[in-house]
């Protein structure tokens, strides 16, 4: 095994300065070895000796990498190796092969690799047991990284690798494991890992009902944790230095695995430095809460550093319980999604009446310099999305007995913020083809919105009728007749062909005369014209209603329809 690093597809050359081209650095934190080329660039820049302040000069680039100082050569090698070791979803099997390839380039690289312990740190399940032990020895006291992917080892018994990893977890700083069953994951997750900083463990099958004590309670350096279909002891808390947590359970996960809201809060209270938390749970019989129970006192988790919170596949009551017992600043990213299997009452009361402080403050933060507000309504479910420079909030797939409830809530809670926004992108999506109860408050909401600059109707459905009527009807103000949303520049009427006559009437009345005062209102009152459109999309009207389509083009101009799949040729 002494010459393990000499094997590779390339023949070793006699020259110690073999030039190498095409080593590409990975993106990442500036402190990462992946940024060896940044360090290289900095080392190639030195102060100008001319005495002029602020002047710098570049030394000529070396003829080969081997002309660089040894520490920079090591950084170059680490950059190439990190292309293999730091993939988002590690696929395994490439690190040692890349090490062999680099060692075969020239004698200098071979000796550098042999003498640099930290280059031997990534051990995966595709190599042999002897190779693992060789890399373990070569790495000396350096922190290790363990990798295992079922995709690269189908049908291969990897129990010896998991035994190897669990026995050496005390030296592991990074672990990424995809295993078939939870019992396999338990062997690694139950081992002490005092220097572990990041761990990803994904199980495919639910073959164990034993809840795991994470790293035997000894993972004091852990910052990033991702688990999928892994039963853990929530009541014992989580590692204290965690900054990112991503835990998910499938819809067929055993009921006893999913945590109750109080268990979630109790666990979160042990990691006050948390910045990102994602939980994809499931509704279970033992933790289904009625909305009246939300007033019951429970554990409160204070997370002053939290920036992003995502909770999916739980009931509104469970989500609301967690939100109302969290103490955080307004969030930069908040995503809440109700389970499609929810069987509890369809009222939005648990989540919205009254809304938690986190929810309403995060929405108001997102409305600062807001880019888009989108509403999705149908007879059974509704969604709200707010996206802006201040943040992002998504309430998705909320089951609602009253499909108009969300629209009314937006008007009641956010009317002041929405009406004062200087420019707004409004997205509307109504899945029903005919006007129904979900549209009762939509017209009122559109009157609240004063400065819509971009409007998108994302479905061929009933809301287009409401939108067209809103745009077609001017209102009388103190200085004359005004049009709603006079600054509207971008209009997407994807479903307008269903209301083609109304669409043509709206376009003709709103944009059919020059942009000037129009005194032809009967009593001489000025009728102010809105800004002309910059872009207009009419969906399939060109093919289904070509005459009306052409009449509209004659009014707004064919250049307005540029960039549309149904644009004028």
Mean pLDDT check: name the lowest of 30-34, 157-161, 392-396, 522-526.
Answer: 30-34
Could you read off the pLDDT of 262-286 as tens digits, one per residue? 889 999 999 999 999 999 987 654 4
Within a domain: 289 = no
Residues facing 203 on adjacent strands: 179
Within a domain: 101 = no
Could you read off the pLDDT of 297-345 as tens digits, one per residue? 677 899 999 999 999 988 888 899 999 999 999 999 999 998 877 655 5
Residues facing 386 on adjacent strands: 373, 393
**pLDDT band per the 50, 70, 90 thresholds, residue 565:** very low
pTM for this prediction: 0.81
Within a domain: 547 = yes
Within a domain: 508 = yes
Within a domain: 466 = yes
What does the buried/exposed string (b/e) look like for 469-504 if buried means 16 or more CB atoms within 10 Å of the residue's CB? ebbbebeeeeebebbbbeebbbbbbbbbbbbbebbb
341 exposed, middle or buried (CB, 10 Å; 0-12, 13-18, 19+)? Answer: exposed
**Domain boundary at 36, 59, 78, which?**
78
Cα-based angle 456, 461, 465 (whole degrees, multiple of 5): 80
Could you read off the pLDDT of 162-185 as tens digits, one per residue? 999 999 999 999 999 988 888 888
Number of domains composing the chain: 2
**Domain boundary at 48, 78, 108, which?**
78
Could you read off the pLDDT of 326-337 as tens digits, one per residue? 999 999 999 999
Within a domain: 296 = no
| pLDDT in the model for residue 14 | 38
**Domain boundary at 27, 58, 78, which?**
78
Angstrom distance (rounded) from CA 516 to CA 511: 11
Mean pLDDT check: name the lowest of 16-20, 77-81, 545-549.
Answer: 16-20
Q: What does the DSSP 8-state code read for residue 54?
A: T
Within a domain: 59 = yes
Within a domain: 210 = no
Q: Which domain holds residue 502?
A: 451-569
């Amino acid at each position: 095994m002494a010459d393990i690093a000499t094997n590779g597809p390339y023949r070793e050359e006699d020259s110690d300065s073999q030039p190498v081209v095409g080593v590409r650095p990975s993106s990442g934190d500036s402190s990462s070895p992946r940024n060896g080329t940044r360090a290289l660039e900095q080392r190639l820049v030195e102060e100008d000796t001319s005495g002029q302040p602020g002047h710098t000069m570049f030394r000529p680039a070396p003829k080969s990498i081997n002309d660089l100082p040894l520490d920079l050569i090591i950084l170059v090698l680490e950059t190439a190796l990190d292309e293999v070791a730091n993939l988002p979803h590690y696929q395994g099997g490439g690190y040692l092969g890349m090490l062999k390839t680099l060692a075969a380039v020239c004698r200098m690289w071979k000796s550098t690799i042999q003498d640099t312990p930290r280059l031997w740190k990534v051990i995966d399940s595709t190599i042999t047991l002897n190779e693992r032990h060789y890399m373990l020895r070569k790495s000396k006291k350096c922190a290790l990284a363990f990798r295992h992917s079922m995709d690269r080892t189908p049908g291969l018994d990897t129990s010896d690798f998991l035994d190897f990893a669990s026995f050496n977890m005390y030296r592991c700083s990074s672990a990424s494991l995809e295993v078939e069953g939870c019992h396999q994951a338990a062997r690694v997750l139950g081992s002490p890992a005092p220097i572990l900083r990041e761990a990803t463990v994904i199980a495919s099958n639910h073959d164990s009902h034993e809840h795991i004590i994470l790293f035997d309670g000894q993972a004091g350096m852990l910052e990033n944790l991702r688990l999928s279909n892994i039963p853990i002891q929530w009541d014992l808390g989580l590692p204290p230095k965690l900054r990112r947590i991503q835990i998910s359970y499938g819809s067929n996960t055993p009921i006893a695995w999913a945590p109750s809201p109080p268990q979630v809060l109790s666990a979160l209270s042990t990691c006050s430095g948390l910045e990102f938390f994602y939980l994809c749970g499931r509704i279970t019989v033992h933790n289904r809460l009625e909305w009246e129970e939300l007033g019951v006192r429970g554990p409160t988790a204070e997370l002053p550093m939290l920036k992003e919170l995502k909770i999916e596949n739980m009931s509104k009551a469970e989500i609301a319980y967690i939100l109302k017992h969290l103490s955080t600043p307004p969030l930069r990213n908040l995503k809440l999604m109700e389970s499609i299997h929810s069987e509890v009452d369809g009222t939005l009361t648990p989540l919205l009446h009254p809304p938690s402080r986190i929810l309403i403050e995060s929405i108001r933060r997102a409305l600062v310099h807001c880019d888009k507000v989108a509403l999705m309504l149908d007879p059974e479910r509704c969604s709200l999305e707010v996206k802006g420079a201040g943040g992002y909030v998504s309430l998705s797939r909320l089951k609602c007995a009253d499909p108009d409830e969300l629209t009314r809530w937006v008007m009641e809670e956010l009317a002041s913020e929405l009406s004062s926004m200087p420019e707004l992108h409004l997205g509307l999506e109504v899945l029903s083809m005919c006007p129904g109860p979900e549209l009762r408050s939509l017209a009122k909401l559109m009157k609240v919105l004063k400065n819509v600059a971009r409007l998108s109707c994302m479905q061929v459905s009933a809301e287009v009728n409401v939108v067209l009527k809103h745009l077609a009807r001017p209102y009388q103000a103190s200085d004359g007749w005004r049009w709603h949303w006079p600054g509207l520049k971008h209009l997407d009427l994807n479903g307008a062909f269903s209301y083609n006559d109304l669409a043509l009437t709206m376009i003709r009345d709103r944009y059919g005369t020059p942009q000037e005062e129009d005194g032809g209102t009967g009593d001489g009152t000025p009728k102010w014209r809105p800004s002309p459109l910059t872009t207009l999309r009419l969906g399939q009207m060109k093919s289904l209603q070509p005459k009306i389509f052409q009449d509209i083009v004659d009014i707004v101009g064919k250049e307005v329809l540029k960039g549309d799949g149904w644009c004028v040729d």
